[in-house]
Chain A
Amino acid sequence: MSSQPVSFCVTFSVTSGVFAARKALAKLLEGLAPLQLDSEDPDSIKMVLAEVLNNIVEHGYPNPQKPGPIGVQCTLVGSGLDIALTDTGEPMPNGEPPIGNAPNTNVQFADLPEGEFGWFLIKIKSTFPKRATGETQLRPESRSYSYL
């Protein structure tokens, strides 16, 4: 992590499962309450983290009989929030996150996208996978993410 002094940090863990994303989002926003974020910020945090958490639940721990931990660590760095999600589940294909292209709406009715929204939302609403500080949290052996 960053070597600069940490003034505010929220750390906890949830177990993967159907309601893991809801639980983690509620817990994180509760933990961030003292920061009195602008109304825009919680929206972006929810939007991005819900997608990352869903991805971990669906693809990191694909077998509901074999759930695993999802660690959440949120640190205030300057005026930004550095949020790292870590898990011990299945790795990303090729060790890298998808490109997250914009959903193509210029298609026939039957071909309108029902997916592909997640990574696009992550990409446009966060700095992921770029990091302004510290080492990269994206490790090939897991689906760990970080965004600022």
Chain B
Amino acid sequence: MELSTKTVDPVLIVSVNEDRIDAAVAIEFKDAMRAETLDGPKIVVLDLSTVNFIDSSGLGAIVASMKHMGQDRTLALAGLTPTVDKVFRLTRMDTVFSLFATLEGALEALCNRPA
């Protein structure tokens, strides 16, 4: 599972370079997220724009990543494709995360500056 990161002060952007986060890669994803967010900015935006499918394992891995970051930090999700967005809403996880349609929108809202 390959993640790429970029810092747009004060936000760390983590991009998922895969088209799915499912049971086959959920643990790998969780480990990679843990490594990328171990230290650093308090606000992390997970860019999901390349992800076309997520299952319950992937969803659980994202929740676990947020919990690992700790309550004093924020994990926001950006660029949700329609199918991924649906899973978050159906499971009510949209109430747990801040969801943004685009990465630009997330950055604007979280740090008042364009990407």
Contact = CB atoms under 8 A, between A and B. Distances in A.
Interface of A: 18-19, 21-22, 43, 46-47, 50-51, 54, 57-58, 102-103, 105, 109-110, 112-115, 117-118, 120-121, 124-125
A145 B55 CA distance: 18
Interface of B: 20, 22-24, 53, 55-57, 59-61, 63-64, 66-67, 71, 82-83, 86-87, 90-93, 95-96
A96 to B, nearest CB: 19
A126 B59 CA distance: 19
A121 B24 contact: no
Chain B residues touching A, majority SS: helix
Contacts, number: 74
15 contacts: A21-B22, A43-B82, A50-B56, A51-B55, A54-B22, A103-B92, A109-B71, A110-B71, A112-B96, A117-B56, A117-B59, A117-B60, A120-B91, A121-B56, A125-B90
Given A21-B24, A47-B86, A113-B63, 10 more contacts: A43-B82, A50-B56, A51-B56, A54-B22, A57-B23, A105-B95, A110-B67, A114-B63, A114-B67, A121-B87
Question: Which one of B55, B63, B96 has the greatest number of beta carbons of chain A within 10 Å?
Answer: B55
